[in-house]
Amino acid sequence: MTRNRYYLFALLILLIDYISKWIVCAKLDPHLPVEIIPGYLRLSYWENSGVAFGLFDSVSSVWKPYILAAMAVIAVIIIVLYSLHMPADRKLLQTALAVMTGGILGNFVDRIARGYVVDFIDFHIHDIFTWPTFNVADSAITIGIALLLIDTVRNPAVQEAADQPAETGSK
């Protein structure tokens, strides 16, 4: 499988994220959440100027969106370089990297275009537990990280390196 297919997968994630946020912005009243599964899942419009879980949301600076966007660009560059140095036949790894890239780019586009990220998926268990509101890009990043961890555990080269006895340094 060529790497181009993985890049197309990242682009697909980016498009799904963009379209979902466009629909939310066009159709969802910010003051009126929509219950999808009563007591568990609703759509709620939220403008997140921070990062994951709303971290740094309260920090106010005209430079914040650009600094966070620059961090996203750096992350994408590192991921692409890592992908290029890893075998293309490691499908799970390449898929994980593509999914993360698509998610990072999805939030990057929001940050540049709006100055914040649109979050809208609100998971909760009645009034007992509420997970921070998230979006498709956040989900893709999380799924990509999970796939990366699975690949790390399953990859024979990583396992062989872990099984090798450590050198003591003396001969």
**H or E element that contains 41:** strand 41-48
- Nearest one of 41, 40, 61 to 49, comparing CA atoms: 61
Give the model confidence (pLDDT) of 5-44 as tens digits. Answer: 899 999 999 999 999 999 999 999 988 999 999 999 999 9
Residue 135: what residue type? N
Q: Label residue 55 by pLDDT band (50, 70, 90).
A: low
Q: Label residue 127 by pLDDT band (50, 70, 90).
A: confident
- The tokens for 64 are 């914040």
Active site residues: 119, 138
Query: With contact defined as beta carbons under 8 Å apart, do 101 and 79 qualify?
Result: yes
Using DSSP bridges, classify how beta strands 41-48 and 117-125 pair: parallel, antiparallel or unpaired: antiparallel
Give the model confidence (pLDDT) of 141-156 as tens digits. Answer: 999 999 999 999 987 6
- Angle of the 91-114 helix axis to the 136-154 helix axis, nearest 10: 160
Give dist(CA 10, CA 79) in Å, integer. 12
Query: With contact defined as beta carbons under 8 Å apart, do 116 and 49 qualify?
Result: yes
Q: In what order do the strands lie in the sheet with 41-48?
A: 34-37, 41-48, 117-125, 129-130
Phi, psi (deg, nearest 5) at residue 14: -60, -45
Statement: residue 59 has pLDDT above 90: no
- Listed by start position, the domains of the chain span 3-156
